[in-house]
Amino acid sequence: MSAPRRPLVAGNWKMHKTAGEAREFCTALAVLVGAEPPVDVAVCPPFTALEASVDALADTSIAVCAQNVHEAASGAHTGEVSAPMLLAAGVDGALVGHSERRAAGDTDAQVALRVRAGIDAGLTVVLCCGESLDIRRAGDTQRFVTRQVESALADVHAADLPRLVIAYEPIWAIGTGETATPEQAQEACAIVRSVASERVDGASLRILYGGSVNPGNAAELMACPDVDGALVGGASLDPESFARIVAAAG
């Protein structure tokens, strides 16, 4: 029998906060969530604020994740950051395959390589997936999300489970104010769990919902049986707002 899945609430700051602002935010957040928050908590600062965030959260249980990681350990990849670089900075994990990165050119093949590279290096990988509004309206959500997850996990094995999290983020709900209903979130996360179960123990895999999560809707979304937390965007930029989402998850 699989152990209960401990919820995770992660805040993706995207291209916000300088190193100084990140330090101030993390100091405030640590006080607000307390020494022993009821769920796992992570922040995902931009690359330039990672080390400041790591320093500010050094004596807390709050993890720090990067927003992306390259598949190569080093090389001629201008503007990219590798898993060894992140580990040397004290980072715990990385997002991979966020829709905004995919829109900028990250391919399914690259996402799969980055998942493997991150796990192999010792990072926790938060794999992102999700469909556009046109795909949902066409009734093609299941096929699209299935393809994304199958492709990304092609080289993932059962032993990789402790370092894998999947975040379902419908593109049409990211930064739009639109949010999937609890029923829509549950349906999609159940699809993700079913597909991922072909590679890992799906019953133990943590699956997050992301897409305009805020303190007002967090509890309802995270009450869904296949939703194990949230990947929060805009509402994670304010420590009080983010802490309220953490509390709702507990």
Name the nearest CA neighbour of 95 among 226, 231, 190, 243.
231
Asked if 153 and 115 count as a contact pair (C-beta separation under 8 A), the reply is: yes
Check if 98 is active-site: yes
> For the chain, what is the radius of gyration of the CA atoms?
17
Distance between CA atoms of residues 209 and 193, nearest Å: 12
Judging by beta carbons within 10 Å of its beta carbon (0-12, 13-18, 19+), is residue 1 exposed, middle or buried? Answer: exposed
Q: How are beta strands 229-232 and 206-210 bridged, if at all?
A: parallel
Judging by beta carbons within 10 Å of its beta carbon (0-12, 13-18, 19+), is residue 228 exposed, middle or buried? Answer: buried
Q: Which of these is catalytic: 98, 131, 178, 220?
A: 98
Q: Which of these is catalytic: 169, 187, 220, 240?
A: 169
Check if 71 is active-site: no
Name the DSSP class of 3.
P
Q: How far apart are the first and last CA of the chain?
A: 22
Distance between CA atoms of residues 86 and 84, nearest Å: 5
Show which residues are catalytic. 98, 169
